[in-house]
Amino acid sequence: MKSISRCPYCGKEMHLGFIHQDRRALKWIPEEKDKGPFLQMFSKGIKLTDSLTTSSVEAFYCKDCEKIVIDLEGNTR
């Protein structure tokens, strides 16, 4: 079940799409833990993709607000 389909900002329907990783798994790293792109594998964060299993993450886009929302629930990591 898709828990987000309406924009949390304006309430309109959002467009489902995917963000594919390049060579490295995508990860959200909190600002205070960020060590830059070359040391990202050592920084603790929230994994959005996995190089071996899930190489893309579902993301909803609102054209009006120009926001992209990633719902971690339902995205297997």
Interface residues toward Zn ion, by CB under 5 A: 7, 9-10, 62, 64-65
Specify the residue, 10 or 46, whose C-beta has the smaller distance to Zn ion: 10
Q: How far is the CB of 8 from Zn ion (least distance, A)?
A: 8
Specify the residue, 17 or 45, whose C-beta has the smaller distance to Zn ion: 17
Specify the residue, 26 or 62, whose C-beta has the smaller distance to Zn ion: 62
Q: How far is the CB of 43 from Zn ion (least distance, A)?
A: 30
What secondary structure, in 3-state letters, does 44-73 show? Answer: CCEECCCCCCCCEEEEEEECCCCEEECCCC
List beta partners, residue 18.
58
